[in-house]
Amino acid sequence: MLYWWLKNGVLGPLLQTVFRPTIQGQHHVPDKGAAIVVSNHLSFVDSIFLPLSIPRRMTYLAKSDYFTGKGLRGALVKLFFTATGQLPIDRAGGKASEASLNTGLQVLGEGRVLGLYPEGTRSPDGRLYRGRTGVARMVLEANVPVIPAAVIGTERVMPLGAKLPRVRKVMVRIGPPMDFSRFAGMEGDRFVLRAITDEIMYTIARLSGQEYVDVYASTVRQQLARSEASSPGASVG
């Protein structure tokens, strides 16, 4: 299978040799059965370093744009995301969000490991931002172990906008499973969903050492984009 060939035969050994990432807490990931790995999101390469840190295959839900590009570049991007175990989803919200939830539940129903970024997008400045409650709903509906994790240093390996990675120190910390069974059957309660999501984010913050900001990362990125567009140095035309 292409995934295992990349992980164990090509990409994995290459990254281990070049970056020599430090990995802590691998033993917290169960050897078998479904599980959700939740982590912070600093860089595009998070979806490479974190799966390489656990022996099992990890599946991510990636935005569908990565699978619909045109030309050679689009084909290569699609091949890479498919080979690294990522599934296309529509992030438009509404019915698309429901479809994403169902896709994730299907992965878990097959006994696989699902990787999620509760922030929903990459951090614009290295801080940890408010989590989306969709992760909590999936946790309750799937009733599987939740494994918190943190990637550290990847924003220096490949910052936002960078074309090529830089060799920098990377660390992956994996924490013990979180138990939310006390909330069983309460996936329709938005206050419960928020409480679960916040607990997940606080745990990730402790693992990563990041400053936590109780605002959505997408909101901050939009504000930064508007600020850059209206700055005196912005191009006109």
Read off the pLDDT of residues 199-230 as tens digits, 9 standing for 90 and up: 999 999 999 999 999 999 999 988 888 887 77
Position with higher pLDDT, 96 vs 67: 67
**Rounded average pLDDT over 116-124:** 93
Question: Which of 57-66, 92-101, 149-158, 197-206 has the weakest average pLDDT?
Answer: 92-101
Range 6-23 average pLDDT: 89
The mean-pLDDT minimum among 24-33, 49-58, 137-146, 228-237 falls in 228-237
Distances (CA, A) of 118 to 53, 55, 192, 200: 19, 22, 16, 8
Q: Is the dihedral of CA 2, 73, 12, 17 positive or negative?
A: positive
Q: What is the CB-side half-sphere exposure of residue 185 using CA atoms within 13 A?
A: 1
pLDDT at 216: 95
For tokens 């030309």, the residue is: 71
Range among 67-81, 153-167, 168-182, 216-230 with highest mean pLDDT value: 168-182
Q: What is the DSSP letter of 209?
A: -
Report the pLDDT value the prediction gives residue 237, as an integer from 0 to 100.
40
What phi, psi does 52 have (nearest 5°)?
A: -70, -15
Predicted TM-score of the model (pTM): 0.88
Complete domains list, the chain, with CATH? 2-7+25-228 (3.40.1130.10)
Cβ-contact 75, 67 below 8 angstroms: no
What's the pLDDT band for 181 if we cut at 50, 70, 90?
very high
Going from the C-alpha of 226 to that of each of 37, 45, 72, 187, 229, the distances in angstroms are 33, 26, 32, 36, 5
Q: Region 87-110: what's the mean pLDDT?
A: 78
Comparing C-alpha atoms, which of 105, 87, 86 is closest to residue 187?
105
CA distances from 66 to 50, 62, 81, 88, 112 (A): 19, 7, 7, 8, 22
**pLDDT for res 1:** 67
185: tokens are 């059957």
- List the beta bridge partners of residue 58: 113
* Beta-bridge partners for 10: none
pLDDT classification of 139: cutoffs 50, 70, 90? very high
The answer on pLDDT for 12 being more than 50 is: yes
Identity of residue 236: V
Q: Tell me, what's the pLDDT at 233?
A: 58
